[in-house]
Amino acid sequence: MPIYEYECQECKVRFEVLQGINEGNEGVSCPKCDAKAPKRLMSMFGSSGSSSSSCSPGAFT
Ligand SMILES: [Zn+2]
């Protein structure tokens, strides 16, 4: 399940939401001011493939 990053259009706070790929921003509200329908930002899952984690190389096993 992908993580989407949202930005509240009211207070501009950014937060991440774990939700299904078919879900929109209708059910998402700002954790700070509770405003509805925040703006979805670019996904964490970039297509460049350069976002490999540096914590533990070879952790795929
Ligand atoms: Zn807000």
| Domains identified in the chain, total number | 1
Asked whether residue 5 is assigned to any structural domain, the reply reads yes
Q: What is the pTM of this model?
A: 0.65
Asked whether residue 59 is assigned to any structural domain, the reply reads no
Q: What Å distances lie between residue 55 and 8, 16, 26, 40, 52, CA to CA?
A: 30, 21, 35, 27, 9
Q: How far is the CA of 53 from the centre of ligand 1 (A)?
A: 30
The residue type found at 30 is C
pLDDT along the chain (61 residues), means of 10: 92 94 91 96 58 57 67
Q: How far is the CA of 51 from the centre of ligand 1 (A)?
A: 28
Asked whether residue 51 is assigned to any structural domain, the reply reads no
Provide the residue range defining the domain that includes 38: 1-43
Residues 17 and 6: beta-carbon distance below 8 Å = yes
Q: How far is the CA of 36 from the centre of ligand 1 (A)?
A: 8
- Give the per-residue pLDDT at 57: 64
Q: How far is the CA of 46 from the centre of ligand 1 (A)?
A: 25
- Give the per-residue pLDDT at 55: 59
- Give the per-residue pLDDT at 2: 85
Q: How far is the CA of 1 from the centre of ligand 1 (A)?
A: 24
